[in-house]
Structure 1
């Protein structure tokens, strides 16, 4: 199956692509409809590019050979990726991959429902009606950690509806967890994986910040924080099992670096669209608006990095999603869940589109190219 070509507009777009000539990844920049290989001793990795104070200016001027036409990489057929041909990889490499949860009121309510239903989709609708009757939309405009949020917290405790998800949703401390291992994220038109134990799951369309070791946000991209609702719903202690599996983290297609044309305010105002297309003809359209996030993106960065925690190679930060699907797919009252073969496209008019196919994590290509392989590859190419 092929994907529709997604145009990339003006701006500084960087990332990574598999380069079969060197049997490894290249740092690339989009320029004049082509993907240019700018890998060098100065920037052997995207991590090194993001460490530069002049990252956008450097990328805009760096010279290198054409790796492939942009349209060829963006419109590549899903399932056609091969080490014999150039293709896009996740645009991050040595960065830690972190994620923030429960940062939007609507999705926060759904997490409460998952917990109350103990991961059972049959019970979700009944719990949803009860929780909504108590909470309603009263949380939508609350600023997390504010005095007003504290009052809502006290009221919910009195109602017996308090939850750990509400604590991180409106309390002073954000939920920040490790989403994926370094170099394990997949990119555009790759398969994304569901752990085979999950029967209730969904995509999570998110903006992902690219942050360097000094805590400076250098740009943004798109991500799919694949979510296993039943696994996490059974117990929050299963978060690692629910979130970190083979191919369960998708990022791309490129990082748009901050420059005169794009900055953090564009992130704050970003609107994301989501489309799920099933082999059974099912189509689901959704959205997520960063305007409705309850914590500012820079606050989430500050809660992740600081004197309490350093990231010498920087990190990628998923910032959560407003999207929480309740539309029934098959069985009335059970809501949405993925089926193998679903095509998921997450898009934003300033960042492009990220498309992936859903499979079981046990059936996705295994992750075999780790940090040791990257270091050896760069050494052979005399880049380190």
Structure 2
């Protein structure tokens, strides 16, 4: 797989480059200071920069680079809800206002909500979280759209929109608390350029949760089951908001476990979207497991699976 990534090199410098799994190498994007800088540029220019990276001096080997979340600066992460039939059914299972979700699924206007600022996002190998005051929690594997400041889809990635089903089910107006908290948003480090995914709808999303060495849950869904077109979701998001540093938009999930399943500390969540990427995260409970994110704002090169997971 070939994709754009943000990483720390062996000298601790945070850089943006193009990584290639087949070569096992990463090359810098010429003249790009950070991911927000890249997302300020038009799609045509980004494509030229990615092509030009092949002639750049190596930044190192992929296995020596420390992957960082592919967002920084003022880039925001947003998400869409009830975009698959399974999501509509699941919201109805957990809530006494099932008709509310039916109306959202069938409505012209999609459900869109804010998910995370850049510095709170975690990436592959770092922990995701469940709230200490929640009783029913699930990972939500989603296709993520990376959008530049001009409203153009630049690429695709993998998102885990971790959520509290019990809090949202208690009252739909509690959705921000059910969705926006420390450890609630994970993004895979790779952004696969839009021009390298010729048939997005042919892909499949797969997820498994491993507990104590055994699979506690697994599921998959076709991207063709996504009810709304990606461009439609982007249009609504950008219709009344300026995004000078671009945005990430998670497109909703079609995989939701039954009401008898909840995430537990120590679980490991594996997500794979064919042709797009993979994401793997251990689970911790409570805000204290994410205090390291505050320090990582100033020193992102110190991030990583070993530094992030609490003792």
TM-score calculated relative to the size of structure 2:
0.87
1:176-195 equivalence runs, <5 A: 176-195=112-131
Distance in 1 between the 2:68 and 2:264 partners?
A: 24
- State which of 224, 244, 249 in structure 2 corresponds to 1:312: 244
- Distance in 1 (alpha carbons) for counterparts of 2:11 and 2:27: 12
Cα distance in 1 between the residues matched to 2:227 and 2:98: 18
Aligned residue for 1:65? 58
- For 2:69, which of 83, 90, 94 is the aligned residue? 90
| Aligned pairs (5 A) from 1:109-188 | 109-116=89-96, 163-188=99-124
Following TM superposition, by how much is the alpha carbon of 1:34 offset from its aligned partner in structure 2, in angstroms?
Answer: 3.1
Out of 285-294 and 224-233, give the one that drifted further.
285-294
| Structure 1 counterpart SS, 2:79 | strand
Residue of structure 2 equivalent to 1:271: 204
2:294 matched to which residue of 1?
Answer: 368
Superposition deviation, residue 66 in structure 1? 2.8
Equivalent in the alignment of 1:324? 256
SS of the residue 1:368 aligns to: helix
Larger radius of gyration between Structure 1 and Structure 2: 1
* Superposition map of 1:348-363 within 5 A: 348-363=273-288
Q: Which residue of 2 aligns with 1:251?
A: 187
Aligned residues: 293
Q: Which runs of 5+ in 1 are unaligned?
A: 1-7, 74-85, 117-160, 327-333, 375-384
The whole-number CA distance in structure 1 between the counterparts of 2:57 and 2:132 is: 43
Q: Distance in 2 between matches of 1:220 and 1:29?
A: 14
Instruction: Look up the match of 2:228.
Output: 295
Quote the offset at 1:198 in angstroms: 1.2
Retained in 2: the 8 A contact 1:34–1:66? no
**Contact 1:182–1:370 (8 Å) recurs in 2:** no
Separation of aligned partners in 1, 2:265 and 2:189: 22
**Is this contact kept in 2: 1:276–1:345, CA < 8 A?**
yes
How far apart, in 2, do the equivalents of 1:324 and 1:162 lie? 16
C-alpha distance in structure 1 between counterparts of 2:290 and 2:260, whole Å? 29
CA displacement at 1:38 relative to structure 2: 1.4
* Contact 1:15 1:92 (8 Å CA) reproduced: no
| Structure 2: gaps of 5 or more residues | 301-311
- Taking a change above 3 Å as real, the CA distance of residues 173 and 372 of structure 1, as seen in their structure-2 partners, is farther
The offset of 1:352, in angstroms, is 2.5
Moved more, 12-21 or 290-299: 12-21
Tell me by how many angstroms 1:312 deviates: 1.1
**Preserved CA contact (<8 Å) 2:9 2:59:** no
Shift of 1:216: 0.2
Q: Which residue of 2 aligns with 1:337?
A: 262
Higher share in strand = 2
Say whether residues 1:25 and 2:14 are aligned partners. Answer: yes
Query: Could you say what the CA RMSD is over the residues aligned between the two structures, in angstroms?
Result: 2.2
Q: Within the alignment, does 1:16 sit opposite 2:6 as a pair?
A: yes
Q: How far did 1:289 drift?
A: 1.8
1:56-96 per-position Cα deviation (integer Å, ceiling 9, x unaligned): 3312322243333x3x36xxxxxxxxxxxx42111122321
Change in CA separation of 1:96 and 1:235 when aligned onto 2, cut-off 3 Å: same
**1:26/1:37 contact within 8 Å kept:** no
TM-score by length of 1: 0.71
